[in-house]
Amino acid sequence: MSLLLHLFALSLLISVSGAKFSGRPGINYGQLGNNLPSPSDSVNLIKSLNAKRVKLYDANPKILAALNGTDITVSVMVPNELLVNISKSASLSDDWIRSNILPFYPTTKIRYLLVGNEILSLPDSELKSSLVPAMRKIQRSLKSLGVEKVKVGTTLATDVLQSSFPPSSGEFREDISGLIMKPMLQFLNRTKSFLFVDVYPYFAWAQDPTHVDLDYAIFESTNVTVTDPVTNLTYHNLFDQMIDAFVFAMKRLGYPDLRIWVAETGWPNNGDYDQIGANIYNAATYNRNVVKKLAADPPVGTPARPGKVLPAFVFALYNENQKTGPGTERHFGLLHPNGTQVYGIDLSGKMEYKESLPAPDNNELYKGKIWCVVAKGANWTQLGDALSYACSQGNNTCDPIQRGGPCQKPDLTVLHASYAFSSYWAQFRKIGGTCSFNGLATQTIKDPSYGRCEFPSVTL
For the annotated catalytic residues, the residue numbers are 118, 264
Q: Enumerate long-range contacts of 295-302, CB under 8 Å, 24 or more apart.
A: 295/22, 295/23, 295/24, 295/25, 295/347, 295/348, 295/349, 295/350, 296/23, 296/349, 297/23, 299/23, 302/240, 302/243, 302/244, 302/247
Q: Where are the beta strands (DSSP E) in 2-157?
A: 26-29, 53-56, 73-78, 110-117, 151-156
In order of 28, 87, 271, the CA distances from 363 in angstroms are 26, 45, 12
Q: How far apart are CA 302 and CA 262, in angstroms?
A: 13
User: Distance of CA 308 to CAs 261, 294, 303, 305, Å?
Assistant: 11, 10, 10, 6
| Residue 110 DSSP code | E
User: Is omega for the bond preceding 316 within 30 degrees of 0, making it cis?
Assistant: yes
Partners of residue 113 on adjacent β-strands = 76, 152
Say which amino acid occupies 359: A
